[in-house]
Amino acid sequence: MRVAMLGWEFPPFVSGGLGVHCFELTRQLCEKGVQVDFFMPVSGKTVVSPHPNLRIIEVAKTELRPYLFFSKKGQAAYGENLINAVNEYWAKCIERVIAASSEKGKYDLVHTHDWLTSKAGSALRNKLSIPLVQTFHSTEFDRTSWPWEYILDIERSAASNADLIIAVSKRTRAQVMRLGAEEKKIRVVYNGVDSERFGAVKIDAKISALLKKDKKIVLFLGRLTEQKGPVQFLHAAKKVLSKNPNVLFLVAGKGELLPMLINISLELGISDSVKFLGYVPEEEQQKLYKIADVYIMPSTSEPFGITALEAMSSGVPVIISKTSGVAEIVRSAIRVDFWDINAMAEKILAVLKYPQLTSTMSRLSVTEAAIYSWEKTADETIKIYEEAMRRG
């Protein structure tokens, strides 16, 4: 089977779960004999294929990362730069995929990810007469409380034009149906995690002691946007610290809300107990999970939430928002409403206070996370490919 896959990110050019998904999925697909040509913008970084069956083909230079800077007014801080970059990518991608199809033989299907690649996929479906599979990792309804009509229109077209749609959770399936997609052509395929990689990370005891300084650590890791709930995280931190001042709150990630979050920590009087780490590379993220005593994912709207599985694989007790896709499948994580900072604080305090609860959650989390492998994700994706090809 030969697949033309259109993405926007691939390690080391990553801003979130989209890049992780594309890396892990393509690697597992290729392990199972699928030949994948992965088309992406030129990132300016060295992108290395993790498997002989995977070709990385870069087109249309851009340094822009998606989803980081959408304002409440429904406009991207990138403005016309992002729109122009995406339009250029679509045009160049169509050209390169058609050329690769002529050179190496016809593709069996084209697989696109989110709105950033969807129009190119639709054009290639028609030009090459092959099936189109569209994955929705999120929708504009998830990313902002003020959806941008420009992107919504693209997403509606993507939902309409695809032969089959992959949604990363039942929650995302419902959002895609809001875009007008027929339920009968949507398949839910959950993300996975490389549990062995996260479980094998070792931490230098001296470094851990230096950072923790005999304090418990509560970790937030994600884009600093409204969607991810960092404001709620800080307000919960204030309540925790009023009961237990011996706690350090780590905020790992970057985004448009960083200046505001720093100001909030000052206004709440907790700045000495909150550290903003900025962007943290993947290897360092793995170490952060290992030294954390609790991991919090308080997202207001989370299509899935790969970081929750990563934390669970690392043996960290996890507290997640009920409005997340990962909440549909995990049982060993504690669920809270993103808006209920009192409950969030209570759960954090309980995990920090009771060692037996911590050890039980840690053990169950590791066992449960191992069930959700990227191999399983790839197996289900191949079945969808085969179904799309039968239909075509």
* pLDDT for res 143: 83
Q: How confident is the model over 12-51, as pLDDT tens digits?
A: 877 778 889 999 999 999 999 999 999 998 877 888 999 9
Are 49 and 122 within 8 A, CB to CB? no
d(CA 227, CA 244): 28
Q: What are the chain's domains?
A: 2-192+373-391 (3.40.50.2000), 195-369 (3.40.50.2000)
Dihedral over alpha carbons 372, 375, 376, 380 (to 10 degrees): 140
SS (H, E, C) 116-150: HHHHHHHHHHHHHCCCEEEEECCCHHHHCCCCCHH
Which pLDDT score is estimated for 229? 96
Determine contact, residues 217/291, Cβ cutoff 8 Å.
yes
pLDDT at 392: 67
Output the pLDDT for position 63: 58
With cut-offs at 50, 70 and 90, classify the pLDDT of residue 64. Answer: low
121, 45 contact by CB (below 8 A) = no
Question: In angstroms, rounded to a whole number, what is the distance separating the alpha carbons of residues 323 and 301?
Answer: 6
pLDDT at 73 over 50: no
Token couple for 234:
């800080």
Whole-number pLDDT of residue 335: 97
| Res 176: pLDDT | 97
Q: Which two tokens stand for residue 227?
A: 């969607």
When mean pLDDT is compared across 82-91, 147-156, 197-206, 258-267, the lowest value belongs to 197-206
The reported pLDDT for the residue numbered 78 is 45
pLDDT tens digits along 231-255:
999 999 999 999 999 999 999 999 8
pLDDT value of position 309: 97
3-state secondary structure of 296: strand
Find the mean pLDDT for residues 164-176: 97
Overall average pLDDT of the 185-195 stretch: 97
pLDDT higher than 80, residue 223? yes
Is residue 273 scored above 60 in pLDDT? yes
Confidence of residue 68 (pLDDT cuts 50, 70, 90): very low
Percent of the chain residues topping a pLDDT of 90: 76
pLDDT-derived band at 124, boundaries 50, 70, 90: very high
Residue 173 to residue 391: CA distance in whole angstroms: 21
**Residue 107, pLDDT above cutoff 70:** yes
Over the stretch 304-328, which tens digit does the pLDDT of each residue have? 999 999 999 999 999 999 999 999 9
User: At residue 263, does pLDDT exceed 60?
Assistant: yes
pLDDT tens digit sequence for 324-383:
999 999 999 999 999 999 999 999 999 999 999 999 999 999 999 999 999 999 999 999
pLDDT at 378: 98
Does residue 74 surpass a pLDDT of 50?
no
Rounded Cα–Cα distance for residues 198 and 46 (Å): 24
pLDDT, mean of residues 56-80: 58
260: which residues sit within 8 A by CB, 6+ positions away? Answer: 231
64-72 average pLDDT score: 49
